[in-house]
């Protein structure tokens, strides 16, 4: 089960956090992994070295998803160079928190440019080779916040809720081409993105989660592997909750 030998996967935001765990998990199942990184070249190289040391295959590809045209072109070119593209994991994301009345327009635009337009541009780049192959897996990293909302995260929630609409629309648009499109909606996952929370905030988060712990990047990576696998071939347009019961 979940054998990805011979498949090529592109992961945006692959140098750290959930994206990195997804790279490692996909590679451990046999996928040739293209690690998309924005600016953290050293971290991406470290991830590639770890995968190679474990007997896997990985390369690093620089791309800034907020430059939509460049992101689309880079992914399409990477697919051409690798000879195919079977799996896209759009994990690149940012969060700028703040009450709406204090949130700057520029920050709102930046969040949408990375989280929404960047993910859509990445899908555009991946869909072309997938359509030619009449097969593919597109996996978006949305969030529990896109489903439930969260005070202080209006822009982030808007970007992540919009991705769910994108997921459902693309699922319908490309089902006839053998491509599935799904989202994962992680809850509170301990990564660099959540490092800024105080210990009190973290403890309050844990107690509000029915499973009484934060999620790990590996919890999310396991969902990525499932959705990327042949075993998930009849699952499309779905938002898979990996949230410890935080939102049901």
Residues at the site binding ligand NAD, with contacts judged by CB under 6 A = 12-13, 15-19, 38, 40, 63-66, 91-94, 114, 118, 141, 143, 186, 188-189, 191-194
Residues identified as active-site: 156
User: Shortest approach of ligand NAD to residue 93 CB, angstroms?
Assistant: 2
CB nearer to ligand NAD: pick between 199 and 234 = 199
CB nearer to ligand NAD: pick between 85 and 224 = 224
Which residues are CB-neighbours of 68 under 8 A, at least 6 positions away?
Answer: 113, 117, 118, 120, 121
DSSP characters for 30-69?
T-EEEEEESS-HHHHHHHHHHHHHTT-EEEEEE--TTSHH
Length of the chain: 248
Two structure tokens written together for 95 = 């969060």
User: Shortest approach of ligand NAD to residue 6 CB, angstroms?
Assistant: 26
DSSP state, residue 213: S
List the one residue out of 197, 169, 167 whose CA is nearest residue 95.
197
CB nearer to ligand NAD: pick between 36 and 129 = 36
- No. of helices (H) and no. of strands (E), the chain: 9, 7
CB nearer to ligand NAD: pick between 168 and 177 = 168
User: Shortest approach of ligand NAD to residue 192 CB, angstroms?
Assistant: 4
Two structure tokens written together for 59 = 């390369």
CB nearer to ligand NAD: pick between 66 and 154 = 66
Q: Give ∠ CA 13-193-76 in degrees, rounded to 5.
A: 10
Two structure tokens written together for 165 = 């609409």
């Amino acid at each position: 089960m979940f054998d990805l030998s011979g498949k090529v996967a592109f992961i945006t935001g692959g140098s750290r956090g959930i994206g990195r765990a997804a790279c490692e998990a996909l590679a451990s199942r046999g996928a040739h992994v293209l690690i998309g990184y924005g600016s953290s070249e050293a971290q991406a190289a470290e991830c590639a070295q770890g995968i190679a040391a474990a007997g896997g295959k990985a390369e690093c590809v620089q791309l800034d998803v907020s430059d939509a045209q460049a992101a689309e072109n880079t992914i399409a070119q990477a697919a051409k160079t690798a000879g195919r593209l079977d799996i896209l994991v759009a994990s690149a994301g940012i969060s700028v928190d703040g009450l709406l009345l204090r949130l700057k327009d520029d920050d709102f635009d930046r969040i949408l440019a990375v989280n929404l337009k960047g993910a859509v541009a990445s899908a555009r780049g991946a869909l072309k080779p997938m359509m030619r192959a009449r097969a593919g897996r597109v996996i978006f990293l949305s969030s529990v916040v896109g489903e439930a909302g969260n005070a202080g995260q209006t822009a982030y929630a808007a970007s992540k809720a919009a991705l769910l609409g994108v997921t459902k629309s693309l699922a319908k648009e490309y089902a006839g081409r053998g491509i599935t499109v799904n989202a994962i909606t992680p809850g509170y996952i301990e990564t660099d993105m959540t490092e800024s929370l105080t210990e009190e905030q973290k403890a309050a988060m844990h107690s509000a989660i029915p499973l009484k712990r934060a999620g790990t990047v590996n919890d999310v990576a396991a969902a990525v592997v499932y959705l990327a696998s042949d075993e998930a071939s009849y699952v499309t347009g779905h938002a898979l909750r990996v949230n410890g019961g935080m939102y049901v």
